[in-house]
């Protein structure tokens, strides 16, 4: 029996004992008891969640959804911390959750590498770990129970396929605003996009630099791109926020975003969709931040001693300007 399983079995045993006691209490009170036996079995699950940071509109929606779903009313005691895009802060948060003896640790790893040691510590403490949103590159997949989130390679590929269709065989200079260096979405979106434009030598990535997924850095990096490259046809930004920063830089340079320089981004947050409707972005690949319910379900499965799916993929789509006009009024984020 694995350590995790042992812990789960003992929790299940404790729940069963509580339920039996509650039943006994009911039966001795001559049928007049008001105790609900189903309520008696519910144990609040202590979850430690380490969030990447608050770098983007996507992240704000993700945090809000997780906090709104893992509530006391839903059976959770959520401990939440923001790592401000720093791996050392996340490692410290995970260690503190281990020390507090939470039931489950969930986190969205800022970068892919360097997690083995702390995940081994969680395993030794028999605390199951769930990855949300971003992946780790650990070879030992027993270090986490499940990874839920998007297929970032596919997202990059969708952006690249759009570029191929949009520009046909015209010579096209592309600049890329990368997400946080070493993060799963930056690595994978970059790879997916490259793969899609392969075999179309007229589409050239002439510059590629990180803007750390933030609006401010997206703007500064775009200013540099504009200063160094007289002909830019397309900006491929790994998220809406960097794209929105790039729009400011393009406008400040006296050019028209969406026309003089076209834009493709990932996420489809409210502000990104608004810019798409306004014609400043040309195409957005959706990345869904609403992972709270899936996370809650996975945690409940783990606590019930069941093995969740190892990889849970999020469903998502893409938006043209017309599709954005139709979708924006009812968007949740």
On whether the CB atoms of residues 298 and 308 are closer than 8 A, the answer is: yes
Binding mask 225-244 for ligand GYE (x = CB under 6 A): --------------x-x---
- Applying CB under 6 A, which of residues 58, 193, 225, 319 lies at the interface with ligand GYE? 58
Instruction: From 54-62, 111-119, 161-169, 313-321, give the range in contact with ligand GYE by CB under 6 A.
Output: 54-62
Q: Where are the alpha helices (DSSP H) in 235-291?
A: 240-252, 270-277
- Applying CB under 6 A, which of residues 7, 59, 123, 158 lies at the interface with ligand GYE? 59
CB of 289 to ligand GYE, least distance (A): 7
Judged by CB, which is closer to ligand GYE: 213, or 283?
Answer: 213
On whether the CB atoms of residues 150 and 183 are closer than 8 A, the answer is: no
Cα angle 50, 53, 57; round to 5: 125
Residues 16-45 that bind ligand GYE (CB under 6 A): none
H/E segment holding residue 311: strand 311-313
Residues 65-124 that bind ligand GYE (CB under 6 A): none
Judged by CB, which is closer to ligand GYE: 56, or 262?
Answer: 56
Does the protein bind ligand GYE through residue 133 (CB under 6 A)? yes
Residue burial 230-259, b: 16+ Cβ < 10 Å; e: rest: eebbbbbbbbbbbbbbbbbbbeeeeeebbe
CB of 54 to ligand GYE, least distance (A): 9
Nearest alpha-carbon partner for 136 in 123, 119, 124: 119
Instruction: From 51-59, 93-101, 202-210, 313-321, give the range in contact with ligand GYE by CB under 6 A.
Output: 51-59
* Structure tokens that stand for 43 in this block: 């144990």
Does the protein bind ligand GYE through residue 217 (CB under 6 A)? no
- Applying CB under 6 A, which of residues 112, 161, 233, 267 lies at the interface with ligand GYE? 267
Residue burial 28-52, b: 16+ Cβ < 10 Å; e: rest: eeeeeeeeeeeebeeeebbbbbbbb
Evaluated on CA atoms 91, 97, 98, 102, the torsion sign reads negative
As a whole number of angstroms, the distance between CA 237 and CA 208 comes to 10
Judged by CB, which is closer to ligand GYE: 102, or 184?
Answer: 184
Does the protein bind ligand GYE through residue 134 (CB under 6 A)? yes
Residues interacting with ligand GYE, by CB under 6 A? 55-56, 58-59, 133-134, 185, 213, 239, 241, 266-267, 287
């Amino acid at each position: 029996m694995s350590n995790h399983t042992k812990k789960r079995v003992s929790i299940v045993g404790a729940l069963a004992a509580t339920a039996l006691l509650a039943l006994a209490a009911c039966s001795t009170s001559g049928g007049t008891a008001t105790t609900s036996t189903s309520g008696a079995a519910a144990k609040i699950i202590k979850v430690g969640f380490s969030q990447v940071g608050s770098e983007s509109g996507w992240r704000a929606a993700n945090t809000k959804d997780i906090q709104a779903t893992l509530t006391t009313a839903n059976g959770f005691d959520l401990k939440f911390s923001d790592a401000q895009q720093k791996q050392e802060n996340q490692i410290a948060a995970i260690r503190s959750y281990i020390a507090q003896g939470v039931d489950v640790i969930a986190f969205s790893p800022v970068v892919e590498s360097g997690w083995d040691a702390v995940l081994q510590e969680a395993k030794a403490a028999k605390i199951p770990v769930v990855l949300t949103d971003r992946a780790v590159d650990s070879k030992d997949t027993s270090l986490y129970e499940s990874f839920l989130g998007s297929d970032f390679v596919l997202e990059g590929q969708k952006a690249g396929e759009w570029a191929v269709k949009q520009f046909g065989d015209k010579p096209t200079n592309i600049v890329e605003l990368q997400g946080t260096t070493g993060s799963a979405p930056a690595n994978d979106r970059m790879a997916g996009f490259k793969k899609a434009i392969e075999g179309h030598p007229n589409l050239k990535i002439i510059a590629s630099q990180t803007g750390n997924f933030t609006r401010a850095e997206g703007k500064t990096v775009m200013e540099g791109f504009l200063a160094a490259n007289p002909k830019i046809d397309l900006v491929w930004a790994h998220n809406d926020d960097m794209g929105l920063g790039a729009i400011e830089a393009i406008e400040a340079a006296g050019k028209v975003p969406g026309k003089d320089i076209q834009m493709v981004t990932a996420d489809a947050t409210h502000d990104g969709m608004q810019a798409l409707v306004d014609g400043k972005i040309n195409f957005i690949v959706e990345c869904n931040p609403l992972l709270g319910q899936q996370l809650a379900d996975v945690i409940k499965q783990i606590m019930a001693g069941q093995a969740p799916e190892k990889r849970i993929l999020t469903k998502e789509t893409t938006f043209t300007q017309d599709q954005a006009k139709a979708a924006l009024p009812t968007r949740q984020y």
